Amino acid sequence: MVDVGRSAGGPGSAVVVGAGIVGLSTAWFLQERGVEVTVVDRTGVAAGASWGNAGWLSPGLTIPLNEPSVLRYGLRSLLNPAAPLHIPLSADPGLWTFLARFAANCRWSSWTRAVRANRALNAECVEAFDVLTANGVEAPTVAAPITAGFETARQADGLRHELSRMAQAGQPVEHATLDRDQLRELVPLASGALTTGVRIDGQRHLDPGGFVHALARSVEARGATFRVLETVDVHSTGQGVAVRARGGESLTADVAVVATGAWLSRLAARWGVRVPVRAGRGYSFTVPVDRPVPGPVYLPAARVACTPYQGALRVAGTMEFRDPDAPGVVARLDAITASARPLLDGVRWEERRDVWVGPRPVTPDGRPLIGEVLARGVYVAGGHGMWGLAHGPITGRLLAEQITTGKQPEALRAFDPLR
């Protein structure tokens, strides 16, 4: 363990609300700085977006969602429940307010601001994982390129154009174009429909649920207490903070970190946080395959991500704006299968298992919320969208630095929750 010590006058105790990758990473790095931690979650470890996602540790593909093309695509998809991006027609005024703000941010200036903000997280996100795995988190990360497959060379131009814009915004991504034969070498499951590929180098993947549970075991082994409680209020007391659970139980500490993912706004709105967080729900499942899968596969036209997982293939996709607690929609799973089936051979689609729906926390401007709010001693960390896994550990490290030193790291300025 690399204990950097607690700053004089810094907090000695913390309650972390949320046992996903962001909350647990913050807890781990607070412990590294000498802070005693209690972790609270309403259902347990990795119950939200941290379990069933694609498991990509991919700084090269942290492309903000608020592209102008996404707005156009979303409007065309409104009445299509099978579309990869689905916005159900509902009477939820909060959703439509959020979507109006999201639409206002679907312009290149806002997108570029998000890319530039993410650069600092991308620069250190892999190293933050390495710190964890070198110091007690017993779960591997696997180095492998992510290979995108396309039916035509023109389709590939779309991704290359995105990567070019990323480079222009200061986030170069090492990549190479593949012909049909080169694509087959990296993606043995590619069907004859795929003719062109783009290999994104310098990426990794992992078993997300396995990693987060290993992180929780490490946090617990280092002295943390875990409680299954539903938090209904967090407030300053003048001498610290109080975290109140449903049923009346209250926990006290010097500081509190709220990392509740898609549920963040239910608490944060009362602390001066004006940027809303909504659930952009994703679906995944696991299917057996007839041939080995060397590394992650991206199918941009279908908006589907595939990852080697326990000898099989985890298939993940869609962005569905719906209540985070709503039940899954079987039609969304069938839509993922229908879009990916023509592009991959040797996949036993009828034998899908481990079906999951999880709420990814999305902000309208493409930037997460990380830092202190108006309630003294209360911090939030969330709203990472599709990149919470990749950015969870580095978020925890930077936020632990701010909490224990009282100084906001430069890398977190663009993510100030009071912006």
Count of H-run helices and E-run strands, the chain: 10, 21
Give residue-wise pLDDT tens across range 4-22.
Answer: 444 557 899 999 999 999 9
CA distance 396 to 409: 12
Tokens encoding 227: 């409680």
- Min mean pLDDT across 40-49, 348-357, 371-380, 400-409 is at 40-49
253 residue type, one letter? A
Neighbours of 274 (CB within 10 A): 11
Q: Provide mean pLDDT across the span 72-85.
A: 65
Helix (H) or strand (E) holding 258: strand 255-258
Q: Summarize pLDDT for 184-210 with one digit per residue, the tens.
A: 999 999 999 999 999 999 999 999 999
* Residue 8 in domain: no
What pLDDT does residue 19 have?
Answer: 96
pLDDT higher at 287 or 4: 287
Domain-embedded: residue 1: no
Of 26-35, 38-47, 63-72, 100-109, the poorest mean pLDDT is in 63-72
Structure tokens at 100: 């109006």
Q: What is the CATH number of the domain that holds 92?
A: 3.50.50.60
Domain membership of residue 411 (yes or no) is: yes
Is the pLDDT at 365 greater than 80? The verdict is yes
382 located within any domain: yes
69-73, 155-159, 301-305 — which is least confidently predicted?
A: 69-73
Residue 330 lies in domain: 13-415
CA angle centred on 31, ends 25 and 35, rounded to 5°: 125
Higher pLDDT, 91 or 310: 310
Instruction: Give me the number of domains the chain comprises.
Output: 1
322 pLDDT more than 90:
no
**pLDDT confidence of residue 215:** 97
- Give, in degrees to the nearest 5, the angle at Cα 405 between 399 and 406: 80
Read off the pLDDT band of 96 (50, 70, 90): confident
Sign of the Cα torsion 345, 349, 353, 358 reads positive
| CA dist., res. 412 & res. 419, Å (int) | 12
Measured distance CA(368)–CA(273) in Å, rounded: 12
Is 175 a domain residue? Answer: yes
Asked whether the beta carbons of 141 and 57 are under 8 A apart, the reply is yes
The Cα 340–Cα 363 span in angstroms is 28
- Kindly state whether residue 6 falls inside one of the protein's structural domains: no
R_g of the chain computed on alpha carbons = 21
Query: What are the tens digits of pLDDT across the range 234-260?
Result: 999 989 999 999 999 999 999 999 999
CB 38 within 8 A of CB 228: no
Q: Name the token pair of 352.
A: 């899908």
Task: Fill in the amino acid letter for 116.
Answer: R
pLDDT band for position 138 (50/70/90)?
Answer: very high
